[in-house]
């Protein structure tokens, strides 16, 4: 979807740094003079603390409007039509990743951080799956579900998953009922392949079970019940409209539409949400939600397509963890909405994005699932630049190669421009690194140094500050003296 008015980078990105080396040197020269170090080969240090001084002078100014406030929580409606609830299922679906199980104590720690992040709903677990998980969800409901956080005193909804049977629903209610805002999330499969081969039930039987179990959950005193037709992405449309109508009548407040096997394409999933919104009687009395798996790598794209089509709750996980290929990634979905808000109809969330990096690292630590370096938003390389062309652009104007400021996700880089030195780095980046380290050398000396730098960089993955200083010592500081010992020259 193209737009000539679209910004080339997010409104939250930083404004340009000085556009050339002369401007940067001028900024440095305006700093209070520091006593330089002098060397026999004409080298001189720049300011005593150039890294800190430069950032103080060159740090750009933000120019973004504050996001609208989070509306008051009402289970079956959202007073702000552009507000999107973020439903985090890291502690339930994310924990179902092979090898990612967490202890009750670890789940509580992560839940506290999710509350700080500002998620609207925390799906804390599947209470019927084990006594330990029931205890974990109960502990989260008691503490996190009753403790205001942030300037707005936000308290998240605490949700427990259940199949459509009384035993599961009883366990879920026992776990979440202690929260200020409890929710039961119950599900049953609706695709032909699931009903025939897994449930071995007719469509009419499935509708009857769903209707009865949603009503049962409400009868326990739970004011907030979410219903999911599992494998909705492969379910018959007319059947979906029918079963959703029936559970709304029974008291469902949120209708979650799962692409359980990650089968749909973004335009298909967006059309599915739009069709449900247009054709389900009583849909105005419930919130439409999405839950997209990542089997084809389209979970985040499908989720955004669903939001654009009218879904106002998005189910996601930190780092995109989850069964098989994972889920829609919270950080990708939230930052896409924040970055391209004007093309998504003005949608916004209540997420405090400056907690994203900390939350990502915490989930990696407790789940044991580490993200790949090139993972969007939170990968180690997401804000790092090694190519000489990219480094030159970054040094002139950060918006050339970054659409998001690392500050917006709470990331502090080792250097202001995210420069990583390697064999592809060019003269501009290498010379800037020398200035950061406190050295200025003349052009002839730099060319000699740069030639040696390239030789070393071709043999190493990355060139460290220690490597740079060692090269300086070898190439510049060492006296070029020839000693004569008879016929032997040293």
| CATH number reported for the structural domain that contains residue 278 in this entry | 3.20.20.70
Measuring CA to CA, how many Å separate 479 from each of 25, 441, 444, 452, 473?
29, 16, 16, 17, 10
**Last residue of a domain, which of 332, 367, 402?**
367
Asked if the structure places residue 42 within a domain, the reply is no
Do residues 16 and 397 make contact, with C-beta atoms less than 8 angstroms apart?
Answer: yes
Q: In whole angstroms, what is the distance from residue 10 CA to residue 175 CA?
A: 41
Asked if the structure places residue 26 within a domain, the reply is no
Q: Give φ, ψ of 126 to 5 degrees.
A: -120, 85
Q: Tell whether 468 and 404 lie within a shared domain.
A: yes
Task: Give the structural domain span for 408.
Answer: 388-476
Q: Tell whether 301 and 395 lie within a shared domain.
A: no
Q: Tell whether 436 and 354 lie within a shared domain.
A: no
Tokens 């993955």: give the residue: 461
Asked if the structure places residue 25 within a domain, the reply is no
Q: Tell whether 274 and 198 lie within a shared domain.
A: yes
Tokens of 162: 């259940």
Q: pLDDT value at position 118?
A: 98
10-residue mean pLDDT profile of the chain (490 residues): values are 52 44 40 37 33 37 61 97 98 91 95 98 97 97 97 96 98 98 98 97 98 98 98 97 98 98 98 98 98 98 98 98 96 98 97 97 95 95 88 89 94 82 86 84 87 86 84 64 44
Q: pLDDT value at position 16?
A: 40
Q: Tell whether 418 and 361 lie within a shared domain.
A: no
Q: pLDDT value at position 456?
A: 86
Q: pLDDT value at position 417?
A: 82
Measuring CA to CA, how many Å separate 206 from each of 196, 224, 231, 243, 390?
11, 21, 13, 8, 56
pTM: 0.81
Q: pLDDT value at position 65?
A: 52
Q: Give φ, ψ of 313 to 5 degrees.
A: -140, 135
Tokens of 450: 């740069």
Asked if the structure places residue 194 within a domain, the reply is yes
Tokens 């490597």: give the residue: 467
Q: Tell whether 454 and 307 lie within a shared domain.
A: no
Q: Tell whether 241 and 303 lie within a shared domain.
A: yes
Which of 352, 335, 347 lies closest to 81 in space, CA to CA? 347
Asked if the structure places residue 322 within a domain, the reply is yes
**Angle between helix 50-58 and helix 21-29 axes, rounded to 10 deg:** 110
Q: Tell whether 317 and 410 lie within a shared domain.
A: no
Q: Tell whether 334 and 400 lie within a shared domain.
A: no
Quick one: CA torsion of 422, 426, 432, 438, rounded to 10 degrees?
Answer: 60
Q: In whole angstroms, what is the distance from residue 219 CA to residue 250 CA?
A: 10
Q: Tell whether 346 and 427 lie within a shared domain.
A: no
Tokens of 325: 């290929």
Q: In whole angstroms, what is the distance from residue 443 CA to residue 368 CA?
A: 49
Q: Tell whether 409 and 358 lie within a shared domain.
A: no
Which of 254, 277, 365 lies closest to 318 in space, CA to CA? 365
Find all residues with CB under 8 Å of 258, minimum gap 6, and list them.
Answer: 187, 228, 229, 230, 231, 232, 233, 290, 291, 292, 293, 315
Q: What total of structural domains would you count in the chain?
A: 2
Do residues 137 and 182 make contact, with C-beta atoms less than 8 angstroms apart?
Answer: no
Which of 113, 124, 116, 112 lies closest to 87 in space, CA to CA? 124
Asked if the structure places residue 486 within a domain, the reply is no
Tokens 């700080």: give the residue: 116
Q: How far is CA 279 from its chain centroid?
A: 33
Tokens of 90: 């890291």
Q: How many CB atoms lie within 10 A of CB 437?
A: 15
> Which of the 8 DSSP states describes residue 149?
B
Tokens of 269: 């999933």
Q: pLDDT value at position 474?
A: 73
**Last residue of a domain, which of 314, 333, 367?**
367
Asked if the structure places residue 338 within a domain, the reply is yes
Q: Tell whether 400 and 448 lie within a shared domain.
A: yes
Tokens of 305: 């397509």
| CATH number reported for the structural domain that contains residue 438 in this entry | 1.10.238
Asked if the structure places residue 290 within a domain, the reply is yes
């Amino acid at each position: 979807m193209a737009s000539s008015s679209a910004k080339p980078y997010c409104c939250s990105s930083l404004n340009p740094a000085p556009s050339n080396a002369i401007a940067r040197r001028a900024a440095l020269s305006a700093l209070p003079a520091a006593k330089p170090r002098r060397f026999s080969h004409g080298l001189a240090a720049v300011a005593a603390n150039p890294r800190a001084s430069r950032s103080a002078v060159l740090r750009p100014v933000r120019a973004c409007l504050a996001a609208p406030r989070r509306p008051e929580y009402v289970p079956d409606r959202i007073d702000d039509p552009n507000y999107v609830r973020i439903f985090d299922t890291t502690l339930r679906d994310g924990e179902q990743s092979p090898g990612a199980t967490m202890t009750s104590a670890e789940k509580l720690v992560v839940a506290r951080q999710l509350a700080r992040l500002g998620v609207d709903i925390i799906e804390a677990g599947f209470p019927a799956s084990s006594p330990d998980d029931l205890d974990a969800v109960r502990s989260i409901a008691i503490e996190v579900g009753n403790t205001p956080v942030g300037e707005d005193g936000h308290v998240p909804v605490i949700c427990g998953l259940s199949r459509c049977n009384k035993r599961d629903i009883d366990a879920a209610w026992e776990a979440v009922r202690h929260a200020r805002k409890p929710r039961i999330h119950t599900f049953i499969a609706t695709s032909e392949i699931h009903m025939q081969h897994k449930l071995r039930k007719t469509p009419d039987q499935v509708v009857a079970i769903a209707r009865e179990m949603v009503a049962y959950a409400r009868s326990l005193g739970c004011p907030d019940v979410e219903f999911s037709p599992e494998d909705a992405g492969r379910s018959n449309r007319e059947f979906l409209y029918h079963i959703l109508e029936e559970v709304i009548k029974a008291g469902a407040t949120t209708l979650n539409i799962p692409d359980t096997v990650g089968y749909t394409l973004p335009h298909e999933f967006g059309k599915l949400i739009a069709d449900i919104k247009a054709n389900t009687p009583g849909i105005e009395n419930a919130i439409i939600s999405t839950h997209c798996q990542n089997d084809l790598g389209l979970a985040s794209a499908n989720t955004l397509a669903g939001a654009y089509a009218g879904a106002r709750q998005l189910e996601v996980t930190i780092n995109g963890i989850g069964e098989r290929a994972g889920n829609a990634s919270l950080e990708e979905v939230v930052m896409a909405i924040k970055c391209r808000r004007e093309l998504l109809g003005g949608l916004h969330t209540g997420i405090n994005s400056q907690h994203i990096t900390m939350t990502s690292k915490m989930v990696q630590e407790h789940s044991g699932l580490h993200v790949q370096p090139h993972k969007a938003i939170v990968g180690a390389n997401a804000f790092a630049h090694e190519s000489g062309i990219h480094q030159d652009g970054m040094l002139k104007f950060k918006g050339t190669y970054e659409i998001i400021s690392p500050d917006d996700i709470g990331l502090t880089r080792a250097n202001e421009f995210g420069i990583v030195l390697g064999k592809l780095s060019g003269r501009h980046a290498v010379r800037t690194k020398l200035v950061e380290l406190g050295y200025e050398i003349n052009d002839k000396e730099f060319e000699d140094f740069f030639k040696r730098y390239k030789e070393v960089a071709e043999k190493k993955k990355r060139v460290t500050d220690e490597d740079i200083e060692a090269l300086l010592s070898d190439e510049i500081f060492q006296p070029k003296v020839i000693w004569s010992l008879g016929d032997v020259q040293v």
